[in-house]
């Protein structure tokens, strides 16, 4: 939680626009990959020096430069300066505690998105920041660490599958966004499975462990929501703003589809939140029901023995039967003991009958 804000304070006191890497270092070394393509062909390579990137700013081909790892501030700065990126954008790329957003600059669009991927090594969902810079014929993408989320897109370009080689950098950006949103579905699926498991636990025998899981799930939904809500605004403003020169008209239906998917994700998150709230209520009332049932049975149990013990206590009194005929004559009766036992049995039976009549059993 706090890790969302912790390192931001490193920047307090620095002039705005100073490039500082804010966040964990998640990659060993910064790795730059260039994919350059047009309908006729494509190639992928690692540039020798970031300065060579300048060539691609004005090239006729579509150029996709992907940067994995953000801790080498100068390197990132050089790549950005090739494309005339504003210092504030560079600062935002390096600060991984950003909120998803769209900034419209004269030359390019700047998008910050959060991805959520399930890391099988750590068994946890990991939030990562992806920054996209969309220019006229180039796309820069910055990620915190290398990953396979964009591999499918890369192989489609290099293998010339689908329509991607025929489209511009805007379609490439759309494809990357689509891949990121598909990842959200995967996370939601996992959450949905967990919900189903928890519901079976709730129907069976819920334990305090169940409660802990429900709360963890609830918090995960809070964080997920925090990532996706602003994403919807981002795509919505891409759709609305018709004067963005970087987005071609033909992309409208694709962006609309992307928007629908985002709304669907949000919708599912909200439904899950409602269901999780309901599960919490069920848990609490079922635990309380269960305990009440136990307490009720035990209290009734105790209530039945209380008068019996009292009777036994009475006949355990030591009044001197010799001193007076009124002093506990039952003790000397021929059937005194059976009478006492019968009295106890009758009392217990009468109480059971009364409790049953009142519907307490």
Mask: binding to a copy of itself, 297-326, rule CB under 8 A, as x and -? -xxxxxx-xxxxxx-xxxxxxxxxx-xx-x
Binding of a copy of itself by 352 (CB under 8 A): no
- Contact (CB, 8 A) for 21 and 73: yes
Q: Identify which of residues 17 and 55 has a Cβ nearer to a copy of itself in the complex.
A: 17
Q: Give min distance, CB of 203 to a copy of itself, in A.
A: 9
Instruction: Of 67, 65, 84, give the one whose Cα is nearest residue 76.
Output: 67
- Give the range of 37-45, 64-72, 126-134, 270-278 binding a copy of itself by CB under 8 A: 270-278
- Give the range of 25-33, 126-134, 135-143, 287-295 binding a copy of itself by CB under 8 A: 287-295
- Contact (CB, 8 A) for 78 and 45: no
- Give the range of 36-44, 54-62, 132-140, 253-261 binding a copy of itself by CB under 8 A: 253-261
Binding of a copy of itself by 45 (CB under 8 A): no
Instruction: Compute the half-sphere exposure of residue 110: CA atoms within 13 Å on the CB side of its CA.
Output: 19
Binding of a copy of itself by 43 (CB under 8 A): no
Among residues 107, 330, 347, 352, which is the contact residue for a copy of itself, using CB under 8 A? 330
Among residues 127, 179, 239, 352, which is the contact residue for a copy of itself, using CB under 8 A? 179
d(CA 49, CA 32): 9
d(CA 53, CA 47): 8
d(CA 253, CA 87): 33
Binding of a copy of itself by 55 (CB under 8 A): no
Among residues 55, 284, 346, 353, which is the contact residue for a copy of itself, using CB under 8 A? 284
Among residues 126, 286, 343, 352, which is the contact residue for a copy of itself, using CB under 8 A? 286
Binding of a copy of itself by 97 (CB under 8 A): yes
Mask: binding to a copy of itself, 108-147, rule CB under 8 A, as x and -? ----------------------------------------
| Residues across the chain | 361
Structure tokens at 164: 């991607």
- Give the range of 26-34, 41-49, 61-69, 212-220 binding a copy of itself by CB under 8 A: 212-220
Cα distances (angstroms) measured from residue 137 to each of 15, 63, 350: 32, 7, 92
d(CA 327, CA 325): 6
Q: Is 355 exposed, middle or buried (0-12, 13-18, 19+ CB in 10 A)?
A: middle
């Amino acid at each position: 939680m706090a890790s969302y804000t912790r390192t931001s304070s490193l920047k307090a006191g620095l002039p705005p626009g100073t490039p500082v890497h804010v966040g964990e270092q998640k990659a060993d070394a910064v790795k730059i990959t260039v994919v350059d393509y047009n309908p006729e062909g494509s190639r992928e390579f690692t540039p020798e020096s970031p300065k060579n990137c300048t060539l691609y700013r004005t090239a006729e081909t579509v150029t996709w430069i992907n940067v994995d790892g953000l801790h080498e501030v100068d390197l990132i700065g050089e790549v950005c300066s090739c494309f005339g990126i504003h210092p504030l954008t560079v600062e935002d790329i390096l600060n991984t505690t950003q909120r998803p957003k769209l900034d419209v600059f004269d030359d390019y669009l700047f998008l910050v998105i959060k991805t959520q991927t399930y890391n099988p090594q750590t068994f946890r969902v990991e939030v990562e920041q992806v920054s996209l810079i969309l220019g006229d014929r180039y796309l820069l993408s910055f990620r915190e660490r290398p990953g396979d989320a964009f591999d499918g897109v890369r192989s489609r370009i290099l293998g010339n599958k689908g329509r991607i080689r025929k489209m511009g950098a805007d379609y490439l950006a759309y494809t990357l966004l689509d891949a990121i949103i598909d990842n959200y579905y995967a996370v939601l699926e996992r959450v949905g499975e967990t919900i189903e498991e928890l519901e079976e636990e709730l129907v069976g025998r819920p334990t305090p462990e169940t409660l802990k899981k429900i709360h963890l799930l609830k918090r995960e939904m809070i964080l997920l929501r925090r990532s996706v809500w602003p994403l919807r605004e981002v795509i919505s403003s891409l759709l609305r703003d018709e004067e963005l020169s970087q987005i071609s008209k033909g992309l409208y239906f694709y962006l609309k589809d992307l928007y629908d998917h985002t709304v669907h994700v949000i919708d599912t998150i909200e439904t899950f939140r409602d269901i999780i709230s309901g599960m919490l209520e069920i848990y609490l009332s079922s635990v309380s029901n269960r305990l009440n049932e136990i307490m009720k049975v035990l209290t009734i149990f105790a209530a039945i023995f209380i008068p019996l013990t009292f009777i036994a206590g009475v006949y355990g009194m030591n009044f001197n039967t010799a001193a007076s005929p009124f002093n506990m004559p039952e003790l000397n009766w021929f059937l005194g003991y059976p009478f006492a036992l019968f009295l106890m049995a009758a009392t217990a039976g009468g109480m059971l009958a009364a409790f049953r009549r009142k519907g307490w059993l």
